[in-house]
Structure 1
């Protein structure tokens, strides 16, 4: 996944008050779309230090924290150990480089991850394959923002264009909405965030 080197360096100091707050509103937005999830498995894709997934642990029967950064995974392993969590596991893996044929989940969620992925359609197609039939992919990310200029991340996404791409891949029942606006939360710019729910 893009920008792994950067995340390796900031893993130890990643959990700032602002990131914890945005993770809270993101997990609350995801939770609104969960149905009978306490009997379902989930993957926190591009989980970072697990801020969003940790908030949702009690909503699922099991959760896999997946990230490309070993240092980020170390942070989650420490949290799982410290809190004696029984229904979580971790995996350091890069979907952009290789596939996992035996990985399956009922829910996959990704919060502020898509903007770091170069080939969005390719990764969304791989995640489609991982979902069980009827499973859900939930995306939390920034709305397209022309003020953000970066060589490292997308400047957000147009919800309609993203839904069209996902429909082409095979996702259905796609719905999305803007749920949060914040000051200087995206590369130093004021920005808004959306949540998108889709089904296989």
Structure 2
């Protein structure tokens, strides 16, 4: 993976927000990751959660009835507008939104029992720093759930997008442990098939779960 990619401009995601939920692959991916979190973490209505890089909420909405307060955070105002509309349309009472880039903005003062993020980590320039911030934002015993791409050859986004080319699981596990996390585990939850000139290529998506165990 590249060492210091730049984040995609929020305007890129703003422009795609209105059509995001029309993509059945995005919807299915969100449901599969949500189900994997449901199986890996003992969710309950007393848990506070942060969905970082929430997009239009395709990960959190399936879990909203199994969690307490959920903070939906994203750097894209356009994505958050869609989330706000869905919250209003569905009468959801335990979700709030916040425009947030943890690489540039102050971290929230509140602490969480669960932090989840889907297909966001490879857009974050400094992996070690974001893992450390996540650790600080969790209550002792809290869970971190990261869904992202396995290490790939750069063809998922293409050369014009400067992001991490997925993650080696052993290396990411080491980085998570270095940030203070324990009980790091991985499972494959989804696979994205993309057509290239050379044929179809599959890109596995993992879920990494870990815990903050210190007081």
The TM tier, using the shorter chain, reads over 0.9
State the partner residue of 1:145.
152
> Counterparts of 1:139 and 1:67 in 2: how far apart (Å)?
15
> Counterparts of 2:70 and 2:29 in 1: how far apart (Å)?
20
Are the aligned partners of 1:179 and 1:193 in contact in 2 as well (CA < 8 Å)?
A: yes
Quote the offset at 1:195 in angstroms: 0.6
| Bigger CA radius of gyration | 2
Quote the offset at 1:121 in angstroms: 1.0
Of 13, 17, 20, the match for 1:14: 20
Of 70, 73, 82, the match for 1:75: 82
Indicate the structure whose relative CO is greater, using CA pairs within 8 Å and at least 6 residues apart.
2
Q: How does 1:114-125 map to 2 (within 5 A)?
A: 114-125=121-132
What root-mean-square deviation, in Å, do the aligned CA atoms of Structure 1 and Structure 2 show? 1.8
> Counterparts of 1:113 and 1:185 in 2: how far apart (Å)?
22
Deviates more, 1:70-79 or 1:119-128: 119-128
Quote the offset at 1:101 in angstroms: 5.0
State the partner residue of 2:54.
47
Task: Structure 1: give runs of 5+ residues left out of the alignment.
Answer: none
Task: Structure 2: give runs of 5+ residues left out of the alignment.
Answer: 1-5
1:89 counterpart SS class = strand
Give the TM-score of the pair, scaled to structure 1: 0.93
In structure 2, do the counterparts of structure 1 residues 147 and 153 end up closer, same or farther at CA, with 3 Å as the change threshold? Answer: closer
Are the aligned partners of 1:143 and 1:194 in contact in 2 as well (CA < 8 Å)?
A: yes
Are the aligned partners of 1:50 and 1:65 in contact in 2 as well (CA < 8 Å)?
A: yes
Quote the offset at 1:176 in angstroms: 0.8
More helix by share: 1
Deviates more, 1:73-82 or 1:173-182: 173-182
Structure 1 runs (4+) deviating above 4 angstroms are none
